[in-house]
Amino acid sequence: MPSGHELSVRPSLPVAEPARHPFIMSTGGCEPLIAAIARAAGVSLRCHYRVRDTGSILAMVAEGLGLSIVAELSLPARHTGVHAIPPSPASSGSSSWPYRGPAPHGHRLRRPGHRPPSGVPVNRIPRHAGHQEPAGVFRRWLCGPPHGSGRAVVPSVDAMILTKTAALALALTTVAPVHDELKTQLDALVDAKAMTAALALVREDGRDRSMAAGVRDLRSKAPADPHGHFRVGSVTKTFVATVLLQLADEGKLSLDDQVSKHLPGALPEGSTVTVRQALNHTSGIFDYAGAGIPGWSVRDYRPRETLYDQTPQELLAVGLSKPAYFKPGGGWRYSNTNYVIAAMLIEKLTGNPYAKEIENRILRPLGLRHTLLPGHRKDLPRPHARGYAPYQGRMVDATRMNPSLEYGAGEIISTTADLATFLDALLGGKLTSGQALKQMRTLEDAGRGMGYGLGLQAFPLPCGGKVYGHSGGTFGYPTYALRSDSGRTLVLSGNPYSGEVPADALPKVLATAFC
C-alpha cells in the first residue's frame, strides 16, 4: 500500500444483508490466503472482533492487515464464526459497547487488554427466547448455529472460506485501481509542469481514497498534503444556492419571485429577473468577473488589485455597468454577478451575513471544520499548496488574495474531504426537500454537453450518463467536486503552472473515477 494512503472499512449493515458487506472468515488454514488478499488489495483494514481459540489467526490478521480490535466477543470453542461489530460515533472511550445503552444480555465486551473479573464466564453467549442481535451486528456461521450440534451446514468449509475471501478481495479492490490510475494521471500533470500540485479524493460506500501529487511550493519542494486547504472558487455557488433553496422550503421566497421584490432598487427599474434566473444563469446580466474589466476579472491576475477590499454593491455595480447579454430568460450565459445577487438575497431575507447562514445551515450541521468563508482575510489556513498565476510573461505566487473580490460567487476555502461530505449530503437529500433538490437538478443547456441547474453543474461522462456538482476556478486554484447517482464522489483541486493542461485531461479523470 502506498505511503500516506488509507482505506477505512466500517461495516454497518444489518443481519438481513450480510452478502453486501463481506468480511474475513476466521478459521484454521487460511492464513496465506488472507495475507495474499492483503497484498493484492493494498489496503489496511480496521475490523472489530475477537473469536476465542483462534488467536493465531487474529495475530496474523493484526500483523498482516493492521487490524484494530476495539471490542471483544468470545464464542464457544467449537464454533468458528465471526461477529463483526461496527463502531458508533456516539460511543466513547469510557465504554467498550459501541452503541447507546447497555450491552445486550450475554455479551461480554471489553476494551483491549482488559481482563474480566474472576468468575465471569466469557466463553459462551447465553441466548433466550426473543433474543435479537442489536442493529448493525451481523454474523455468519461456518459450522452450525450456536449451541447446535456443531455439524457443518455447508458441503465444504474450505469452499466457504474461498467464496467469502474472494468476495472480500473483490470489495477491497473496487476502489484501488481507480486510486492508482488517478494518481498516475496527477503525477503526469505535475511531471509536465501543468501543475505544481494536485489533490484528489474518491469516496464510495464510506471509504475515502485521498492522494496528492507535486509539491506545496516551488521553494521548499515539500510534498503536497492530500488533506490541504485550497480556494474552491465557484463551488461556493452550490453552497449559496442550497441556502436559498432552504429559504424557499421555509416559504421565505419563491424561486419565481422577481429579485426586485426582495432587493428593491438593486437592479435597474423594470427588471424582471427572477430568483430562478439568477441561480441558473438565464438572467442575462453581465459577468463582472469576466475577462475585459481590468482589476475585476478573476481570470487575469493583477497583484495589486486582487488585494483590494470590495463590497457586494461594488461588484453588482460593475456587472450592471455593461449591457445585458440578452433579456431575462432569453438564453444561458454564466455570470458571477448572479451569485452576488443570490448572496445579497440571503442577507436581506435572514438579516444575517450570507456567510453566517452557510455556517449555521451547512458547515456546523455537517461538521465541516475545515471549510470557511474568509471575508477579507487574504491567507489560507495551513497546510495548503501555493497557487501560481501568469503575470507579465512569468509565473508568480498568487496565493494571497482578498476573497471579497468574489463574495458569494467564489469565496470559500475548503478541503477535499469537506467538499465530498457537503456534496454527499446535498445530493443525498439531507439539506433540502426532495422537490427543491429536483429543481436544483433541472438543467439548462450550458453547451459542450454540459447542463446547469440551480447552483449545480452536470458533466457528461465518456461512458454515458452524468455526474453532478460544480467546478471552480480562481487564481492558482481550479477545483472540481462531482458525484454520481450511484454514490461515488470525486473532489479534485490543482495548482496550474507553466505547462499546458491537455484538453483531454478532465475527460480522462472522469472516465477513471466514474466509468
List active site positions.
Answer: 234
Identify the bridge partners of residue 496 per DSSP, sorted by sequence position. Answer: 195
At residue 379, what are phi and psi to the nearest 5 degrees? -100, 165
CA dist list (Å): 279 to 112, 238, 326, 333 = 54, 10, 16, 11
**What nine digits make up the cell of 334?**
454564466
Residue 367, phi-psi category: left (phi > 0), alpha (psi -120 to 50), beta (remainder): left
The closest alpha carbon to 346, from 473, 456, 237, belongs to: 237
Number of alpha carbons in the 13 Å side-chain half-sphere of residue 223: 9
For the chain, counts of helices (H) and of strands (E)? 14, 14
Cα diameter, the chain: 86
Q: How many residues are given for the chain?
A: 515
CB 250 within 8 A of CB 432: no
Distance of CA 70 to the CA centre of its chain: 26
- Report which DSSP code applies to 88: -
Contact criterion met (CB below 8 Å) for 34 and 47: no
Sign of the Cα pseudo-torsion (280, 282, 283, 287, in order): positive
Using CA atoms, how far apart are residues 228 and 384, in angstroms rounded to an integer? 5
Q: Is the CB of residue 273 less than 8 Å from the CB of residue 285? A: yes
Residue type (1 letter), 93: G
Per the CB < 8 A criterion, the answer to whether 487 and 204 are in contact is: yes
Integer Rg of the chain from CA: 27
User: Can you give the three-state secondary structure of 230-257, one letter per residue?
Assistant: EECHHHHHHHHHHHHHHHHHCCCCCCCC
Q: Give CA–CA dist 257/276, Å, rounded.
A: 8
Identity of the amino acid at 220? S
Alpha helix ranges (H) inside 325-396: 337-350, 354-358, 364-366
Q: Determine contact, residues 145/109, Cβ cutoff 8 Å.
A: no
Q: Which three cell numbers stand for residue 144?
A: 452450525
Q: Which of 96, 95, 104 is nearest to 125 (CA)?
A: 104
On the 0-12 / 13-18 / 19+ scale of CB atoms within 10 A, 43 is buried
Q: How many CA within 13 A on the CB side of residue 344? A: 24
